Structure 1
Amino acid sequence: MCGFFINIKNKNSGLLNVEKFHKISKKYLKHRGPDFSKFVKDEKTFLFHSRLSIQDPSKNSNQPMIKIKKKKKIILLFNGEIYNFKKLKKKLIDQINFSSNGDTEVLLNNFLVNKSYKNFLESLDGMFSFVIKIGNKFFFARDRFGQKPMYYYQDKKDIFISSEIKPILKSIGKKKTNLDKNNLKNYFLSNIFFSKDETFFKDIYSVKAGEFGTIENSNITTSNYYGEKKLIDLKKNELSSFGQVFENNILKHLIADKKIAIALSGGIDSQSLAHVILSKSNISKKVVNYCIDFKGYKNSEFKYAKKFADSYKSKIRKVSIDESYVIDNFGKLVEKNEGPLGGIMQIGMFKLAEIAKNDGYDVLLAGWGLDECLGSYKDLNKKNVNKKFTLIDGSDISNYSMLAGINKKDQRKKLIFDYFLKTKIPRTVHMCDRFSMSKSVELRLPFLDHHFVEHCLNIDTHQSKIDKLIIREYMKKNSVCKKNWFERKIHVPHPQNEWLKSGKLSDWAYSIINDDFIYENLSFLSKKEVIKFWLNFKKRKIHSGYPIWQLLNIHFMLKMEKKFK
C-alpha cells in the first residue's frame, strides 16, 4: 500500500512551487508509505510517492517507477495490490526483462502491452488506484469496488490528484477550502456519506469505483469499466463449489513478504475468514488475531473471538477502548478519516491497526463485505420486498422505485447492487482505508474480490429464513470450533449509546452540542431542537443517540475546515 500526490500545472505558474509541493506531500502522505518516498519533476508536473513495501521490499519496486519506450518517458504511481500479478508476469515473461519481483513492474508492463484500456483493467485482480503518465497524457483508474482511494481537483492553473484529500486541501486552502454544507445536511438527515463522485469538500471529487479516465490538455474524461452488467449469471452454485471458491479467494489474498494478522470478532464473517487462514494456509502458526474490547462494558465480542481462536490454538490479543480514548482521539480521527466516523467501532479499529503495526504486522485481513455479498441484512422475498425497513447501522432503505421494470427474480440482486455496492460499500472501504493506512497497515478485504462478489450475488439465498445459510453450512462442516453455526445473527451491542447517555463521554458530548460553534456555521440546525432531543435521549425516551454522534462528527468536520484555511 502506498500514497501518491500529483500536481499538473495547466499554466507555468500554479499554486505550488517545488519546495511547497514536497513539504505538503511528506507531511500529509508519509503515513501511507513510511518505507520509501521519492519526488519527481517531469515537465509541468510534480509527482510524489510514498511506499509501504509489502511485495518485493527491494529498491527495484520503488516508485515513481519510470520506463522509457519508443523515446517516451512512462511514469507509474500505484497504490494497492495486484493479487494475480504472478500469472500476468508469466504471460509477459517472453516479452519483458523484469528487474523486480513485485506487482508494480508487472502492472506497468501489462498496461504497455495492452491495446485496450478496458482489456487491461479487466485483466487485473486486486485493489488499486494508479496514475500513468505518458508524455503529456495521463491515464488513471480505480479498482472495481473502490478499495483504494483517489481524489482530484481542477482550476484554471492546476490539477491535483491524490490518495487522500488533505494534501489537496492544504494546496488550495487559502483559495477555497470549504465544506459542502449541503452534503453535511444530507449526512445528518439521511446518513448519506457519499453522493456520486462528491466529497464533503467543494470542488474536490472522488474517482468512482470501477472507473478509469484520461487527462490531456487539461481535459479530464472518465468512463466506467465495471458495473452491474459485469455480474455473471451462474447456472447453479452448490455448497461444494461455494466452499472451493470461498477458500481459494481467501488464500490468494495471503501473498505478502510481510507478516499478516487478522481482525477477529465474534461474528461468522471474520471467523469464517480466520478459519481458512488458520486451517488451510502455510502461515497459520505465524498469524495473530486482534479483537476490540470496550473496557468496563458488560457486552464484549472478545469472549466469542477468544473461544474461536483458542479452538484453533491461535494467538489472540485484546484491543481495549475506553471513554477517555474516544474523547482524546475523536477530533484527530475525523481529520484522518476526512469525513464522519461511522461509529465507535471505527475508533476501535484505528487503535487495532496501531497495535498490530507496533507488533510488527504490516498486513491485516478483515471480514467486511460478506453481509453485502450474501444479502443478509434483509430477507428480500416477494412478501416484503416493497416494505420500508432499516438496516442495522441505522440506514434506511425505503425507496424501491429503482426496482421498476426489473424481473422479479432479479429484484434481490438489483437491490443489493444499487444500495449495498453503491452506498454501503463505498462508506465501508473509505473507513477501512483510513483507519489502516493512518497507521501504515495494509488492510485486505477478501470478500470484496470481484470474482467472489459475482459468485455470491448469484446464489439463491433469499428463500431461507436464516441469513447466510450457505456460509453457516460451510462452517458447520469444516470449522473445528464447536458452536451452533445456525443461530440467528446476534449483534453484540457496543457501548456507543450507553456511553453517550451517562459518564465522561456524555458530559463531553453535551459540551460540544451545547456550544454555539456548530449552529453559527450551519443554519439548518436548531440548537433548541438539538437540546430537546438530547434531554429525551438522556431520559431514555429515545433509544438511539446516533444523531448526537453525527453532531460530534459535524463539529470536528467544521474544525477541520478551519484548520486547513
Structure 2
Amino acid sequence: MCGIAGIIGTDASQKCLDSMLQKQQHRGPDYMGSWKDSNTFLGHNRLSIIDLSANSNQPFESNCGNYVLVFNGEIYNYIELKKELSFYNFKTSSDSEVLLASYIKWGKDCLHKFNGMFSFAIWHKNDQTLFAARDRFGVKPFYYHHSQNTLYFASEIKAIHAAGIPRNPNETVWASYFTYGSYGMPNETFWNQIEQLPGGHYLEHKNNQLVISKWYFFKEEVKKHQQKIISFEEAKSIYKTLLLDSISIRFRADVSVGFNISGGLDSSTLLAFVNQLEKGKNIKAYTFYTDDERYDELPWVEEMIGLTKNPLNKVLLSPKDKLREKVEFIAQHQDEPCGGIPTVAYSQIFKQARKQNSLVLLDGQGMDEQWAGYDYYTQNNNNTIQGISKSPFRPNVLESTFLKKAVKPNYPNFFKDDVLNKQYRDLFYTKIPRALRFNDRVSMAYSTELREPFLDYRLVEFAFAQPIEYKIKNGVQKYLLRELVSEFLSDKITYAPKRPLQTPQREWLGEELLDDVENAVYKLKNSNIATWFNFSELDKEVDKYREGDKDSSFHIWQWLNTSILN
C-alpha cells in the first residue's frame, strides 16, 4: 500500500513532484523515490509490505530499461502469476515486479489476470506513452488533472492541489451531496479540474492526448454464472471454497497481519474463517467502542473472541478525548466529505494497529452488497441509507440558485429484478465507492494497509448471480451466508438483525459536539461558500436538532464536515 504521483508535459518539474510526494507521505513513510526523463516525472511513497528490501523500491524499472512502474496496492495472486512469466529474470520477490512483467507479456490484457487491489502507472520510454489502470471495484485511488499541455496524477487529491492546481469547489457535486446525499459519479470529485479514474477502467496518454477505456465488464461476468443453474448446497460449497481462498491469499505479507471485527455477521464470518486458515497463530483482532451500550457491539465481539481466543484490542472513542481534533484530522485526510463519527471511530483502529506494528488489517466490507443485506433491499424505495424513517437531507437550507445546480443521481437499471439493480448501484455508485474511499484514507492516514477479502471479484460475481431466494428467504437477508457460517457461529450471531448505527453520533452532535456544530455554522457564514446557504433556514434546523429532532444527524454532520473542508 503506497502513494503514486506523476507529471507528464511541459509544466513538469522535480520541485512540483516533490511537493506532491511530500503531501501524501503518510501513504508510504518507508521510502520516497522519483524518476525523470525529459518532461516525464514519476514518484512513489512506499509502505513496505511484500519484499521489504530496497530492491523493491519504486519507481521500478524493467530489466530492459524500457518500462518504469509506480504502483499502489497488492496483486494477491502474484505467486501463481510468476509461474507463467518464466521469460522474465526476476530480481525481487515483490508483486510489483510481477505486475510489470505481466504488462510486458500481456499488455493491457494483464488486468484480467490480476486478483488484487491496484492503482498503477507504467511509462513506456520508446513509445513515450503512459498506461494507468485501477482495480475492478476501485479499492485503490487514482486522481488526475489534465490541462492543455500537462497531465498530473496522484493517489490523493491534496497532492494534485500541492502541484498548484487551484482548490475550487465543484458546485454541482456539492449541491447534489447536500440535496441527495450523492458523492458524485465514478469519475467525479468535489473539486473542479480534478477527476478520478473509475474503478475497472484504464487510461492511456500520449502526445498529451488522454483516452479512458473500460476493461472490467461486471454484467458479462455475472451472466456467465447465471447460465449455470446450481443447487443451494452447491452454491454454498462453491462460495465457501472461494471465500477460504480469498482470505488465504490476503494473508500474503512480510509484515504482521491482523483483522477488524464488529459484532455483526460479516466480520464474525471473517473471524471464523481466519481461524480456520490460521489455526494457533493468535492473529490480533481490533474493534472500536464508544462506551455507550445503546450502540456498542462489544458484547457480540467478546462472545466471538471467547470462542476463538484471538488477542482482542479494544479501541475507545470518547467525546472527552480530543474528539474535535480527531474529526478535523480525518476530515482533512479525506479531502472530500466522509461518513461521520463511525469513520472517525474506525480510524482509531488503524492508529492503534500502527502502534502495535500490525501493518496489514483485513475487514468485512462487501457482504451486504453481494448478498442483499441492507433493509432497503426488501423495500419499495430508492434509499441508500439504512435505518431511517424520513429523509436525512435538508435541501431547504440551500440558497435557491445553488440548489438548482443539484443533479439527482440517475443509476443504471441493467437487470429485471429491482434487488439486483440496487445491488449494482451500491457496488459501483454508492455504498462501496464511498466506503472504499473512506477506508483507504483512514488506513493510510496512519500508514497501514487495509485488505478487503469479501471484495474478491470472484466472490462478488458469484454471489451477485445467485437466485434472489438464496439471498433473501422468508424475510431473512444474506440467507446463504447465514446458513454457511451457522456451523461456526451461534444462532445469536448468525441470525442477529443488522444494526444500522454503531456510534452515538446523533447524541454527540447535539450535546458534546454542539459547540463545534455551532462554530461550524459560524465559519460557514463567514466563508467563501456562504452564498450556498439560506442561513435563516439552516439556523432553524440546528435549533430543531438541539431541541430533540434527531431522527437523522446526517445533515448536521454535512455542515460540520463542509466547514472543515472549505
Give the TM-score normalised by structure 2.
0.90
Pairs within 5 Å for 1:179-198: 179-198=169-188
In the TM superposition, what are the counterparts of 1:371-520 in structure 2 within 5 Å? 371-378=368-375, 380=377, 384=379, 386-389=380-383, 391-392=385-386, 406-407=415-416, 410-460=417-467, 461-479=471-489, 483-502=492-511, 504-517=512-525
Equivalent residue for 2:206? 216
Task: Report SS of the residue matched to 1:470.
Answer: helix
d(CA) in 1 for partners of 2:140 and 2:474? 34
Query: Which of the numbers 324, 327, 344 marks the counterpart of 1:327?
Result: 324
The DSSP-based 3-state class of the residue aligned with 1:209 is coil
Offset, 1:142: 0.1
Amino acid at match of 2:17: F
- Show the counterpart of 2:2: 2
Provide the C-alpha distance between the structure 2 equivalents of 1:375 and 1:91, rounded to a whole number of angstroms. 37
State the SS of the aligned residue for 1:278. helix
Indicate if the aligned counterparts of 2:364 and 2:454 stay in contact, CA closer than 8 A: yes
3-state secondary structure, aligned to 2:104: helix
The separation in 2 between residues aligned to 1:170 and 1:29, in whole angstroms, is: 10
Q: CA deviation at 1:183?
A: 1.2
Moved more, 318-327 or 423-432: 318-327
Q: Cα offset for 1:249?
A: 1.7
Match of 2:401 in 1: none
Kept in 2: contact 1:152–1:205 (CA 8 A): yes
Map 1:326-345; keep pairs closer than 5 Å: 326-345=323-342
- Read off the aligned partner of 1:445 and give its amino acid letter: E
Cα drift, residue 21 of structure 1:
2.7
* 2:229 alignment partner, one of 235, 250, 261: 235
User: Shift in Å at residue 158 of structure 1?
Assistant: 2.1
Q: Determine if contact 1:80/1:148 at 8 Å carries over to the other structure.
A: yes
Partner residue in 2 for 1:562: none
Which string of whole-angstrom CA distances, capped at 9 and with x for unpartnered residues, describes residues 345-402 of structure 1?
A: 1101221101101101010101011111111114756xx5x445453176899x9986
Kindly provide the CA deviation profile for residues 175-205 of structure 1, in whole angstroms up to 9, marking residues without a partner as x: x221112211111111111223111110101
- Give the Cα separation in 2 of the matches to 1:390 and 1:91: 43
1:88 aligns with 2:43: no
The equivalent of 2:535 in structure 1 is: 527
Give the match's secondary structure for 1:367.
coil
In structure 1, how many angstroms separate the alpha carbons of the residues matched to 2:13 and 2:434? 34
SS in 2 for 1:54: coil
Q: Aligned-pair distance for 1:275?
A: 1.0
Name the CA distance, whole Å, in 2 between partners of 1:49 and 1:405: 39
Q: Mean alpha-carbon deviation: is it higher for 354-363 or for 292-301?
A: 292-301
What residue in structure 1 maps to residue 160 of structure 2? 168
Matches of 2:235 and 2:550 in 1, distance apart? 45
Task: Name the SS of the counterpart of 1:38 in structure 2.
Answer: strand
Cα displacement (A) at 1:18: 2.0
| Residue equivalent to 1:148 | 140
Cα pair distance change 1:76/1:182, threshold 3 Å:
same
| Residues 316-349 of structure 1: CA deviation (Å, up to 9, x unaligned) | 1111111243211222211101111201111012
* Counterpart Cα distance in 1 of 2:413 and 2:105: 43
Distance 1:389 1:150, change over 3 A: closer
Given that 1:514 and 1:527 are in contact with CA atoms closer than 8 Å, whether structure 2 keeps it comes out as no
Partner of 2:405 in structure 1?
none
User: Any idea what the Cα deviations from partners look like across 1:461-482, whole Å, max 9, x if unmatched?
Assistant: 1344111111211221123x57
User: Percent identity at matched positions?
Assistant: 28
1:51 is aligned to 2:46: yes
Q: Say if 1:390 and 1:418 are closer, same or farther in 2 by CA, change over 3 A.
A: closer
Q: Which residue in the other structure is 1:248 paired with?
A: 245
Name the stretch that deviates more: 32-41 or 507-516.
507-516
Q: Tell me, what secondary structure is at the counterpart of 2:6?
A: strand
Q: Distance in 2 between matches of 1:104 and 1:487?
A: 42
Corresponding letter in the other structure for 1:321: L
- Residue 403 of structure 2 corresponds to which residue in structure 1? none
Q: In structure 2, how many angstroms separate the alpha carbons of the residues matched to 1:440 and 1:215?
A: 30
Match of 1:139 among 108, 131, 147: 131
Match of 1:351 among 325, 348, 353: 348
**2:14 aligned with 1:18:** yes
Q: Give 1:447 deviation, angstroms.
A: 1.1
> Is 2:361 the partner of 1:364?
yes
Deviates more, 1:542-551 or 1:234-243: 234-243
Q: Is the 8 A contact 1:197 1:205 kept in 2?
A: yes
Does structure 1 conserve the Cα–Cα contact (< 8 Å) formed by 2:73 and 2:140?
Answer: yes
Say which SS state the counterpart of residue 266 (structure 1) adopts: coil
Distance 1:207 1:242 in 2: 30
Taking structure 1 as the reference length, the TM-score comes to: 0.90
Work out the CA distance in 2 between the residues paired with 1:507 and 1:379: 34
Post-superposition offset of 1:296: 5.5
Helix, strand or coil: the match of 1:75? strand
State the partner residue of 2:94: 102
1:66 aligns to 2:66 (yes or no): no
Q: Tell me how far 1:269 sits from its aligned partner.
A: 0.7
Q: Is the 8 A contact 1:292 1:319 kept in 2?
A: yes
Check the 8 A contact 2:134/2:141 in 1, yes or no. Answer: yes
Relative to 1, partners in 2 of residues 1:133 and 1:464: Cα closer, same or farther, differing over 3 Å? farther
Give the aligned partner of residue 79 of structure 1: 72
The answer to whether 1:313 aligns with 2:304 is no
* Aligned-partner residue type, residue 286 of structure 2: Y
Residues 376, 384 of structure 2: 8 Å contact kept: no
CA-CA distance at 1:518 after TM superposition? 5.8
What SS is found at the alignment partner of 2:88? coil
How far residue 306 of structure 1 moved from its aligned partner, in angstroms, is: 1.7
Q: Quick one: which amino acid aligns to residue 194 of structure 1?
A: G
Confirm whether residue 543 of structure 1 aligns to residue 555 of structure 2.
no
- CA deviations 1:400-423 (Å, max 9, x no partner) are 98676843xx44323311343322
C-alpha separation between the residues in 2 aligned to 1:258 and 1:376? 33
Which residue is 1:288 aligned to? 284
Unpaired segments ≥5 residues, structure 2: 394-407
**Alpha-carbon distance, 1:60 to partner:** 2.1
Q: Is the 8 A contact 2:275 2:308 kept in 1?
A: yes
One-letter amino acid of the counterpart of residue 14, structure 2: V
Q: How far is the alpha carbon of 1:225 from its aligned partner?
A: 0.7
Structure 2 CA distance for aligned equivalents of residues 468 and 551 of structure 1: 35
Alignment RMSD: 2.3
Which residue of 253, 256, 260 corresponds with 1:259? 256
